[in-house]
Amino acid sequence: MRRRLAVLAATAALLTACTSTQDHGDKPEATAPVPGTLRVLASSELSDMTPVLDQVRKDTGITVKPTYMGTLDAVDLVAKGGADQAYDALWLSSNDYLRLRPDAAKKIVSETPVMSSPVAIGVRTDAVARLHWKPEDVTWSRIEQAVQDGELTYGMTDPARSNSGFSTLVSVASALSGAQSALTDADVTKATPRLKEFFKGQKLTSGSSGWLAQAYVRRGNVDALLNYESVLKQIDGLTVIRPKDGVVTADYPVSTLAASSAGTREQVRRLTEALRSDAVQKLITERTYRRPVVPSVRPAAGLDTGRRRELPFPGSRSVADGLLDSYENKLRRPSRTVYVLDTSGSMRGDRLDRLKKALIGLTGDFRQREEVTLMPFGSDVKSVRTHVVSPADPQSGLTAIRKDTDALTADGDTAIYTSLEKAYEHLGGGKDTFTSIVLMTDGENTTGAKAGDFDAFYRGLAPAERETPVFPILFGDSDRAELAHIADLTGGRLFDARQGSLDGAFEEIRGYQ
């Protein structure tokens, strides 16, 4: 219990990032520039830099107004021109992926790394003992062996949405492919069987580092997490190991944008200079466990200073995207998801149209081997339709989902809890998949099982069944407290489609499935 509290406290900062990503939806509001204030588009994990930025404001008078976003989404936004005028600087975990996209790279004038953190594995200290590991000797193949022997399970973030997941994927693929230099398409193909084995050990996936840490604590039966060293160091009870055979390191460059004025870029330069001053570098490493980039400041106590090989990041977009594609569609455990969809009378008209549009939009994002169940409800569950996106013929499953979506009609009362119970019954145990339930409702529970009934039902489930989280989406007139309770009870996370869009919420939940 003590450990849990410590972890939750430590991850509070990270969780803030999750909340703020919900607020902006997919198109952040453009705001006017303010003198002395820099609007910075930043990777979500940088939300733990608040105390450092407070210090910078005291030192320089520059206020950083961050907008947090997943790194890959931010690159996408920059590429499409969405950062021009809306932001004064870009601050990502790494510009490696950005550099592979010329449409994004051309928006950057200069970049200055201000700190660094390598990918690492954080292993529950008792598991380190059980495995007889000496942390300084652990290699990726050693980790792979432990996974194959059924001795090690782990969680990581979704590489398609989170830079920590992507860097982890590159580290694992480089190490296990035996590639001696930058990964090629051939290396990825060759490594596929080994990678498939490796990813059988992944028991947790997440769209953000914060929720990953939370789910890890709640689950209690996962041995390790793969993430940046700085994130893992902030979680209690983990032995943080940088595998001996190499890691990918994030170097957090502050980048100036071509669309900004010279004056703005000068402000960004001053910000960078302040971040690289000895005092601030010291604050950064002590507060966030990232490593300083000036030689005069030592890394915080507890950060091992032994050197590690830097694994090269793929030099082409085809390799990077090919790796992601194979992770999503071949390597990772497939997901099984039940969409519990409110189609009660109050959804009639515009709301139902928006639901249909959001669901149909989502069909472009389902992965191969994924099992999707649509469970529309009103006074009770109306139908249960399950489709699998088969690798042999992905289109037929997707077409069927679209067809079922089109056929949804709105009538009846709102039986939230009864429907959720049926979703749990439908899913049963995990079957080597990532299971989850998405609950979309525009109102309060009006019929069927009550909140208390559902609590009792959930507590009566087998432990494996209880591992399925519910991700409720706030929409229309739904009751925040009711839905937040469901998320807390089941270890899910609440998403808000009232400020952003329903499409955005569904899309964001994909990272957790």
Partner 1 sequence: MLGSGSTLHRVRRIAGIVLAVLLIGGVVAAVVAGRQDGDKGTATKTVRAVIGSEKADFFADPDVVKALAAKGYTVKTETSGSWAMEGLDLKGFDLAFPSSQAPADAIAAKYHVRQPLPRPFYSPLVVVAHRSAAQVLAANGLTTVDQHRGVLKMSAYLDAARHDRTWQQLKGSGKYGELAGTVYIASTDPETSNSGALYLAAASYVAQGGKVVASNADVDRTAPLMRKLISVQGAQQSSSDAPFRDFVSGAGNPLVLVYESQVASLLIGKQDPGDLTVLYPDNTATSDHTVVPLTQTGRDLGELLSTDPALRRLAVRHGFRPQGDAAEFTAATAPYTSYLNQTLTGVRQAPVPTSAVLHEMARRARG
Does 349 bind partner 1 (CB under 8 A)? Our answer is no
What gap in Å lies between CA 67 and CA 42, rounded to an integer? Answer: 6
Residues 314-333 that bind partner 1 (CB under 8 A): 314-322, 324-325, 328
CB 144 within 8 A of CB 193: no
Does 259 bind partner 1 (CB under 8 A)? Our answer is yes
Q: Which is nearer to partner 1, 298 or 450 (CB)?
A: 298
The HSE-up count of residue 181 (CA atoms within 13 Å, CB side) is 1
Does 105 bind partner 1 (CB under 8 A)? Our answer is yes
Does 436 bind partner 1 (CB under 8 A)? Our answer is no
For the record, the structure tokens of 314 come out as 């793929």
Task: From 145-153, 253-261, 379-387, 490-498, give the range in contact with partner 1 by CB under 8 A.
Answer: 253-261
From candidates 61, 102, 345, 463, binder to partner 1 by CB under 8 A: 102
User: What's the closest the beta carbon of residue 421 comes to partner 1, in angstroms?
Assistant: 34
Strands 154-157 and 238-241: unpaired
User: What's the closest the beta carbon of residue 330 comes to partner 1, in angstroms?
Assistant: 13
Does 295 bind partner 1 (CB under 8 A)? Our answer is yes
Does 188 bind partner 1 (CB under 8 A)? Our answer is no
Q: 408: helix, coil or strand?
A: coil
User: What's the closest the beta carbon of residue 298 comes to partner 1, in angstroms?
Assistant: 10
What gap in Å lies between CA 96 and CA 92, rounded to an integer? Answer: 10
User: What's the closest the beta carbon of residue 137 comes to partner 1, in angstroms?
Assistant: 9
Does 192 bind partner 1 (CB under 8 A)? Our answer is no
User: What's the closest the beta carbon of residue 220 comes to partner 1, in angstroms?
Assistant: 33
Give the total residue count for the chain. Answer: 513
User: What's the closest the beta carbon of residue 188 comes to partner 1, in angstroms?
Assistant: 11
Task: From 26-34, 99-107, 227-235, 380-388, give the range in contact with partner 1 by CB under 8 A.
Answer: 99-107
Task: From 291-299, 451-459, 464-472, 501-509, give the range in contact with partner 1 by CB under 8 A.
Answer: 291-299
Mark 154-173 with x for binding to partner 1 (rule: CB under 8 A) and - for no binding.
------x-------------
Does 294 bind partner 1 (CB under 8 A)? Our answer is yes
415 alpha carbon, distance to own chain's centre? 31
Q: Which is nearer to partner 1, 138 or 440 (CB)?
A: 138
Q: Which is nearer to partner 1, 116 or 490 (CB)?
A: 116
What gap in Å lies between CA 121 and CA 360, rounded to an integer? Answer: 37
Does 182 bind partner 1 (CB under 8 A)? Our answer is yes
User: What's the closest the beta carbon of residue 107 comes to partner 1, in angstroms?
Assistant: 9
Q: State the amino acid at position 403 in one-letter form.
A: K
For the record, the structure tokens of 440 come out as 């979309």
What gap in Å lies between CA 384 and CA 419, rounded to an integer? Answer: 11
328 DSSP assignment: I
Does 258 bind partner 1 (CB under 8 A)? Our answer is yes
Residues 74-93 that bind partner 1 (CB under 8 A): 76
CB 12 within 8 A of CB 61: no
> Is 466 exposed, middle or buried, given 0-12, 13-18 or 19+ CB atoms closer than 10 A?
middle
User: What's the closest the beta carbon of residue 105 comes to partner 1, in angstroms?
Assistant: 6
Enumerate long-range contacts of 448-453, CB under 8 Å, 24 or more apart: 448/379, 448/380, 448/415, 448/416, 448/417, 448/418, 448/419, 449/415, 449/417, 449/418, 449/421, 450/417, 451/417, 451/482, 451/485, 453/417
What gap in Å lies between CA 288 and CA 68, rounded to an integer? Answer: 17
Strands 253-257 and 89-91: antiparallel
For the record, the structure tokens of 198 come out as 């490796």
> Is 141 exposed, middle or buried, given 0-12, 13-18 or 19+ CB atoms closer than 10 A?
middle
Please report where in the chains the tokens 């009660």 appear, as a residue: 344
Does 186 bind partner 1 (CB under 8 A)? Our answer is no
Please report where in the chains the tokens 């669901």 appear, as a residue: 359
Q: Which is nearer to partner 1, 1 or 305 (CB)?
A: 305
Q: Which is nearer to partner 1, 119 or 497 (CB)?
A: 119
From candidates 292, 334, 412, 492, binder to partner 1 by CB under 8 A: 292
User: What's the closest the beta carbon of residue 79 comes to partner 1, in angstroms?
Assistant: 9
User: What's the closest the beta carbon of residue 207 comes to partner 1, in angstroms?
Assistant: 15
> Is 484 exposed, middle or buried, given 0-12, 13-18 or 19+ CB atoms closer than 10 A?
middle
Does 286 bind partner 1 (CB under 8 A)? Our answer is no
Q: Which is nearer to partner 1, 112 or 405 (CB)?
A: 112
Q: 513: helix, coil or strand?
A: coil
Dihedral pair phi/psi, residue 266, rounded to 5°: -65, -40
Q: State the amino acid at position 37 in one-letter form.
A: T
Does 311 bind partner 1 (CB under 8 A)? Our answer is yes
Mark 138-157 with x for binding to partner 1 (rule: CB under 8 A) and - for no binding.
--------------------
What gap in Å lies between CA 11 and CA 28, rounded to an integer? Answer: 25
Residues 453-492 that bind partner 1 (CB under 8 A): none
Does 369 bind partner 1 (CB under 8 A)? Our answer is no
What gap in Å lies between CA 494 and CA 496, rounded to an integer? Answer: 7
User: What's the closest the beta carbon of residue 85 comes to partner 1, in angstroms?
Assistant: 12
User: What's the closest the beta carbon of residue 208 comes to partner 1, in angstroms?
Assistant: 18
Residues of the shown chain interacting with partner 1 in the complex, contacts defined by CB under 8 A: 72, 76, 96, 99-102, 105-106, 109-113, 116, 118, 160, 179-183, 244-246, 249, 251, 253, 256, 258-260, 262, 265-266, 291-296, 305-322, 324-325, 328, 365
